[in-house]
A = this chain, B = another copy of it.
Amino acid sequence: MTKGNAFDPNCPTRLVLDRIGDKWTVLVVLNLCQGPMRFTQLKDQIGGVTPKVLTQTLRAMARDGLLTRHVFAEVPPRVEYELTELGHSLRAPIQAITDWAEEHVLQVMASRTGTLDQDE
């Protein structure tokens, strides 16, 4: 459908782009690739995320069908988040982005600090 006009703000692709463009979403996917995980575990893994924001992220991702939220009726409470098939399918493209980031971070940092002596 309407290939390439993610430039149209009404294009649904933009909505999807907004979600997966989210910093935390990317990190959540990368974590959950390895299997289901609990809230606190996730929070500890992903440095710097506050519980509020993590909750928001997870809820939004669940709403979009990227992951499931499974509450166990236990005490202490246990909630597991697990990628859906859809969520798993995001892994490859996200990996492409993070690979790029890791590969080129030095160039970016060099450019950012005005050090223009990168010759790669």
Measured in the bound complex, the distance between the Cα atoms of B14 and A46 in whole Å is: 11
Measured in the bound complex, the distance between the Cα atoms of B13 and A23 in whole Å is: 11
A51 at the B interface (CB under 8 A): no
CB closest chain-B residue, reference A44: B7
Measured in the bound complex, the distance between the Cα atoms of B22 and A14 in whole Å is: 12
A40 at the B interface (CB under 8 A): no
CB closest chain-B residue, reference A113: B63
Give the contact-size bracket for chain A. Answer: 35 or more
B12 A109 Cβ-Cβ under 8 A: yes
A79 at the B interface (CB under 8 A): no
Q: Give residues of chain A (42-77) contacting chain B, Cβ–Cβ below 8 Å.
A: 45-48, 63-66
A93 at the B interface (CB under 8 A): yes
